[in-house]
Structure 1
């Protein structure tokens, strides 16, 4: 299996950056688009466990739209073959001392790269 083919890393990096922009600007439609529409998709957050695309979409619709800016550190994107990737990053919200971690599993679908599993946590 080919790990980190440059063209695949570029594709996933672009999808990840699109997600990040949508996240900090509360572009809910883009966030919804970038999660795979499946009952098997999951997102475990700092305070919630969301199983299924519908639960994730509902969470996004009701999430506060303020205080979303953040600084990212140590982002690592790793691709495996042409159709599977992971994206991991650390982050710190503006004005906060706490560091968070975000992990995403990306899969190439007929619609493009989509998140099929995500996890967000905060360090104490």
Structure 2
């Protein structure tokens, strides 16, 4: 299995950037599209534990649509073979630093997040 095949890395990077753009714009349709539509999909957020695509969709639909802008600080995308990847980033929002990890899998319908985690670091003293 090869790591970071250029074509695969470019595809996942494009999907990650599309996700990021949709996130800060609160484009719920794109965010929903990019998560695997399956009850086994997981998203652990800064204040919520979501199990299954339906819970993730409901969270996105109810989430406030303001204050979503953030600055990406350091992003690492790694592909393993042609169908599996991880995307990890740190970000800054409202004076706080957060972390996000995503597991991406190539599905017949395209690249989809099958597991994600978002957390915030404690405030600096």
TM-score for the superposition, normalised by structure 1 = 0.98
Distance 1:97 1:61 in 2: 26
Q: Counterparts of 1:97 and 1:70 in 2: how far apart (Å)?
A: 10
Q: d(CA) in 2 for partners of 1:76 and 1:85? A: 10
Question: Structure 1, residues 7-49: CA drift from partner, whole Å, max 9, x if none?
Answer: 0000000000000000000000000000000000000000000
Given candidates 93, 110, 113, the residue that maps to 1:112 is 110
Is 1:52 aligned with 2:52?
yes
Give the 5 Å matches for 1:13-92: 13-92=13-92
Q: C-alpha distance in 2, partners of 1:61/1:44?
A: 16
Equivalent residue in structure 2 for 1:102, among 97, 100, 103: 100
Q: What's the Cα RMSD here?
A: 0.4
SS at structure 2 position matched to 1:12:
helix
The size of the alignment, in residue pairs, is: 122
Partner secondary structure for residue 14 of structure 2: helix
- Specify every segment of 5 or more residues in structure 1 that has no aligned partner in the other structure, as ranges: none
Question: What is the TM-score with the length of structure 2 in the denominator?
Answer: 0.97
TM-superposed CA distance for 1:122, in Å, is: 0.2
3-state DSSP of counterpart to 1:118: strand
